[in-house]
Amino acid sequence: MSQETTGIITQIIGSVVDVKFPPKKLPKILNHLKVQLENADGTLKNKWLHLEVMDEIGDYRVRCLALGSTDGLRRGMPVLDTGGPIKVPVGKEVLGRLFNVMGEPIDRLGDIPTDKKYNIHRAPPKLEHQIPTSKVFPTGIKVIDLLAPYALGGKTGLFGGAGVGKTVLIQELIRNIATEHEGYSVFVGAGERTREGNELWLDMKRSGVLAKTALVFGQMDEPPGVRFRISLTGITMAEYFRDEEHMDVLIFIDNIFRFVLAGSEVSALLGRMPSAVGYQPTLATEVGKLQERITSTLAGAITAVEAIYVPADDITDPAVATTFSHLDSTCVLSRQIVEQGIYPAVDPLSSTSRLLDPRFIGDEHYETALRIQEILQRYNDLQDIIAILGVEELSEDDKAIVARARRIQKFLSQPMFVAEQFTGRKGKYLTISETVAGFRELAEGNLDHIPEQAFYMTGNIDDVLENAQKIASSNANLPQNNNKEKPDKNNNDKFKTKIYAQ
Amino acid sequence: MSQVKQLKKRIKVIKNIGHITKAMKTLASSRIKKVEKALKIGALYEEKMSEVMSRLLPAVPPEDSPFIKKEGEPVRSALIILTSDTGFCGSFNQNIIRAAVNFIQEKEPHNVSVFALGKKVISYLRRHEIPVEMAIPQWKPDIETARTIIARCTQLMEQNKIQQAVVVYSRPHAHLAAFTDILFPFSLQEEEEKPHQGDFIIEPNPRESFNFLLPLFLNARLLRMFLEARNGEIENRLRSMTNASDNADKLTEALTMKYFKARQDGITQELMEIVGGSEAVK
């Protein structure tokens, strides 16, 4: 539509703006409207506020969501209808750049030299174009590769309450997979810390990944409309690479929950009745529309890693539960595990993956994962008994399981590359076969004689053995004098450990 | 809501465990009087026996009886381990088993003939494939049991398969300790503390008397250890069951609080939704 129609603002409630248009010239739902802002003296600024039509409320009025601050807006201001939805630039030109929700560069490196623009509200791919995922996507992180393997071209969720390490884990994943990844990546910062966005940008620049990455930010300082639509902007950019360039794309979204939250913030203002736990009644629709677009098609694959904040550590929260059902693999970060000092704090019992099936990962991996979960589950079941009666009352078998489970828990920790400057430990990357081999040894009880601490923050089994030797030699230095008379100390030790393994 | 349900279930489980531990506690406290009395009597008898033996001992030349301590370390030993048949008594069995295993390691396993009393130690030894000379599950602290063991020990002694017998057990009022006492041979120094008090006429002669009294004395001594062990076990059980009951109560209290909070959360949430909903409909 070349001729732009003009309406006027009739009501402003926070982020929601009502605009009246001439009869028969109403903009369509999801159309992009814009308002030119004014200076204090009434002259026009060279700055526009963008609105998106959400509802028609009768009397030739439309209700719009502001994609920016509504400060300085007043009734009677003219509003332009652009005649279509919001469009963002796509293509190779977006790589290495930083965008806001409107697809405008925010890195002060000039305009994007492209005419290729995509509508951010696109239909999800048709079922007949979608392809199921069955290939494991190695991450180099033990607990994930073993218990919740990621799918190439699948969706993965990192669930976690406040401060359990979601962002650190997502950054570690970026480091581990985006760096090794051949294709392009898109990072969406939705409603998270602005500082983290900045750090990520600088980090990516340093490591050289930036050249094949597009970054989109609508952080926590932005109004709800921005946080609501920012994920769509990122997904649209990724979709282009999939559909037009036929490439495998990675998309990282931190944090998809902010999308729901922003929707909930504006829902009541839009006049919708709140539903369960105060969320918008359209929760499932909104989440579905977004998630369904992140799929692999015959043209190419989108592999998504989404961080999902879990309010009050309650995994049954409607926003979280709705997202759950869309994912191929779920990685639940738990506060309990953070309290034990184990990072990444992935809960081995709640995390799972569609790929955890012998058809996809092979019998050995599958059986090992199952065995590990069994041991940990048993340990969990015994917790109450231990709390009441003490470990001493357990049967010999259970004691062995408790000891093994404790070693497994320690072994699930892993030093991370991105946390190197905080922990002072060098990050570790493990291949899946290394991971599986290590855990199988543990599950079979071949490592019961190695002290628990030796497993903490290690990479593969060789690291553990090395650690164990270090611990043994530092212990041996102390009581050596007492043991001088015993020539067969080694034999004795073996006997001892055999008996005291519990 | 699922959390409320889970908490409810967990509270129920813990309460049930608490019921069990409380019952065990009551049982232990009623039994402790009985065993204390038995120990008192047994100890008195053993003390008197010991007195008589200590008078006889100096009169018997050490070469005459294998039960008198000779020069040098005994090589082979009988190890009598007294544990309980049932659990629920804290680290009682663990400590005894640990002490026993230490002893076996020190003497080398092949030099030790093990007499295992109580299911706990029997199953432990079986699991770790340590050979057992005699196993008595569900043993009673009575003279019959003592006689059986002493008879077998004496037999081994005569075949020179052992030179000493050691008992690993616990005593009352010894919180976590396990005792390793030598049952025989007797050492002169130990029994000589009381010097001769006047002249005794020993009929028919010291040696015969010694040999006659010896099995009686050993039985009495072992019986006393039995009674002490049983006493210690029940005491331990009482203590650990008291602790367990307290723990269960504390855990129940904490979980109940959590349960109330979760339930109230749910109620508040629903109220808010009803209020919000009705506001929105207006």
- A377-413: pLDDT as tens digits: 999 999 888 888 888 888 888 999 999 999 999 999 9
Question: Which of A275, A387, A499 lies at the smallest CB-CB distance from B247?
Answer: A387
Interface with chain A: mutation pick from B91, B95, B176, highest number of A CBs within 10 Å: B91
The two tokens of residue B233 are 């076990």
Distance from C-alpha of A130 to C-alpha of A301, rounded to nearest angstrom = 9
Summarize pLDDT for A24-68 with one digit per residue, the tens: 899 999 999 999 999 888 889 889 999 999 999 999 999 999 999
Averaged pLDDT of chain B: 86
Quote the minimal CA–CA distance from B7 to chain A in Å: 12
- In B, minimum Cα distance to A313 occurs at B3
Distance from C-alpha of B124 to C-alpha of B172, rounded to nearest angstrom = 24
Distance from C-alpha of A496 to C-alpha of A154, rounded to nearest angstrom = 49
Quote the minimal CA–CA distance from A497 to chain B in Å: 12
Cβ neighbour number for residue B228 with a 10 Å cutoff: 24
Burial A277-301, CB ≥16 within 10 A → b, else e:
bebbebbeebbbebbebbbbbebbb
DSSP state of A331: E
Nearest to B42 by CA among B171, B200, B194, B206: B171
Interior angle at CA A470, CA A468 and CA A476, nearest 5: 100
Distance from C-alpha of A304 to C-alpha of A352, rounded to nearest angstrom = 16
For residues A224 and A266, is the Cβ–Cβ distance under 8 A?
yes
Summarize pLDDT for B166-199 with one digit per residue, the tens: 999 988 877 667 888 888 887 655 545 555 555 6
> Where does A250-307 have alpha helices with state H?
257-267, 283-293
Q: What is the widest separation between alpha-carbon atoms in chain A?
A: 104
Q: In this complex, do A396 and B127 lie within 8 Å of one another by their Cβ atoms?
A: yes
Quote the minimal CA–CA distance from B227 to chain A in Å: 23
Choosing from A61, A87, A92, A193, the catalytic residue is: A193
Distance from C-alpha of B186 to C-alpha of B193, rounded to nearest angstrom = 13
Confidence of residue A482 (pLDDT cuts 50, 70, 90): very low
Q: Is the peptide bond before B204 cis (omega within 30 degrees of 0)?
A: yes
Summarize pLDDT for A8-24 with one digit per residue, the tens: 999 999 999 999 999 98
More confident site: B65 or A293: A293
Q: In this complex, do B240 and A390 lie within 8 Å of one another by their Cβ atoms?
A: yes
Q: In this complex, do B105 and A492 lie within 8 Å of one another by their Cβ atoms?
A: yes
pLDDT at B197: 57
Burial of A119 (0-12, 13-18, 19+ CB in 10 A): middle
Choosing from A34, A63, A166, A410, the catalytic residue is: A166
More confident site: A1 or A98: A98
- The verdict on A396 touching B (C-beta cutoff 8 Å) is yes
Residues of chain B found within 8 Å of residue A496, distances taken between Cβ atoms: 105
pLDDT at A495: 37
Mark residue A154 as left, alpha or beta (left: phi above 0; alpha: psi -120 to 50; beta: remaining): beta
> In the block, which residue shows the tokens 């002169």?
B188
DSSP-assigned letters across all residues of A438-488 = HHHHHHTTTTTTS-GGGGTT--SHHHHHHHHHHHHHHHHTTGGGGGTT-TT
Confidence of residue A249 (pLDDT cuts 50, 70, 90): very high
A425 tagged catalytic: no
Quote the minimal CA–CA distance from A385 to chain B in Å: 8
Summarize pLDDT for B30-43 with one digit per residue, the tens: 999 999 999 999 99
Question: Which of A277, A316, A393 lies at the smallest CB-CB distance from B88?
Answer: A393
Nearest to B94 by CA among B120, B117, B131: B120
> In the block, which residue shows the tokens 């993956």?
A353
- In A, minimum Cα distance to B269 occurs at A277
Q: Going by DSSP bridges, is the β-strand pair A155-160/A329-332 parallel, antiparallel, or unpaired? A: parallel
The residue type at B264: Q
Question: Which of A392, A495, A496 lies at the smallest CB-CB distance from B91?
Answer: A392
Average pLDDT over residues B63-85: 82
Residues of chain B found within 8 Å of residue A498, distances taken between Cβ atoms: 128
Q: In this complex, do B269 and A274 lie within 8 Å of one another by their Cβ atoms?
A: no
- How far apart, in Å, do the first and last CA atoms of chain B sit? 29
Distance from C-alpha of B223 to C-alpha of B39, rounded to nearest angstrom = 9
A354 tagged catalytic: no
Nearest to A333 by CA among A220, A168, A154, A191: A168
The SS3 of residue A38 is strand
Distance from C-alpha of B99 to C-alpha of B104, rounded to nearest angstrom = 9
Q: What is the pTM of this model?
A: 0.81
For residue A330, the cross-strand partners are: A157, A352
Quote the minimal CA–CA distance from A393 to chain B in Å: 6
Distance from C-alpha of A413 to C-alpha of A415, rounded to nearest angstrom = 7
- How far apart, in Å, do the first and last CA atoms of chain A sit? 77
- The verdict on A389 touching B (C-beta cutoff 8 Å) is yes
Residues of chain A found within 8 Å of residue B176, distances taken between Cβ atoms: none
SS (H, E, C) chain B: CHHHHHHHHHHHHHHHHHHHHHHHHHHHHHHHHHHHHHHHHHHHHHHHHHHHHHHHHHHCCHHHCCCECCCCCCCCEEEEEECCCCCCCCCHHHHHHHHHHHHHHHHCHHHEEEEEECHHHHHHHHHCCCCCCEEECCCCCCHHHHHHHHHHHHHHHHCCCCCEEEEEECCCCCCCCCEEEEEECECHHHHCCCCCCCCCCCCCCHHHHHHHHHHHHHHHHHHHHHHHHHHHHHHHHHHHHHHHHHHHHHHHHHHHHHHHHHHHHHHHHHHHHHHHHHHHHC
Q: In this complex, do A388 and B2 lie within 8 Å of one another by their Cβ atoms?
A: no
